[in-house]
Amino acid sequence: WTGRIELQGAALVGIDRLMDDAYFDDLGRTVRAHGGILGAVTYPVPGLEAGIDRLFRHAVEHGLDLDFHADETGDPAVRSLALIAEAAIRHRFRGRVLVGHCCSLARQPADVVDRTLDLVAEAGLAVVSLPMCNMYLQDRRAGVTPRWRGVTLLHEMKARGIPVMVSSDNTRDPFYAYGDLDALEVYTQATRILHLDHPVGDWPRAVTATPAEVLGRPELGRLAPGGGADLVLLRAR
């Protein structure tokens, strides 16, 4: 696959591990040595805010971008998305910050949602929803039909100018055995799950130009005169 696919390492470690000085220092060295990005899985543990702060300080010091696996739960009390946005504002962070999942936002009161989305927009965070995996895993209880779709509030985010994307998560693994890393399938299913139609508008950007921009590769994911002609042709009625 050399020359055909690019991989970027993202250090999505549990936020509690970042309170271990030796582990954290070793992690930072490894990320820098391999050209990766720093990140964490956030969940409600003692010291959550301190761990997020530490991550931002380290990213500022070493010029690293950040990636968060956040709030993949239906528990409305889990609100680390707002904490991440507040930390980005507090540290005047100028790197790229991607936050994935953010499922619990859809279960929170309207006033909390509004405040959180205002913070996310001010902080310049980008958000990716994993619609197939989120819908498959959230509200999963034995013998009970799921009551909600598990996805985050992409329409409300997009209306505020927040960069939003849809993608695939967990490829044929114990969490989601059906992923194929197929961008067309992701977009097709996202259209159904998240109602990205009537009108379609510019929602195709969620799997093309927007992720390319967030990855720092704005020349990808678009058709333009003089642009790259590295195309894949497929049936996509």
Known catalytic residues are 72
φ, ψ for residue 167, nearest 5 deg? -155, -175
Task: Kindly give the interhelix angle for 110-123 and 80-90, rounded to the nearest 10 degrees.
Answer: 30
φ, ψ for residue 12, nearest 5 deg? -85, 80
Q: What is the DSSP string of 109-161?
A: -HHHHHHHHHHHHHHT-EEEE-HHHHHHHTT-BTTB---S-----HHHHHHTT
- Give SS3 for 208: coil
- Report the run of H or E that residue 191 belongs to, with start and end: helix 183-194
φ, ψ for residue 104, nearest 5 deg? -65, -20
Tell me if 155 sits within 8 A of 197, measured CB to CB. no
Cα–chain-centroid distance for residue 210? 12
Q: Which spans in 42-100 are helix H?
A: 48-62, 80-90
- Give SS3 for 166: strand
Q: Which residue in 91, 3, 96, 80 sits closest to 47, CA to CA?
A: 80
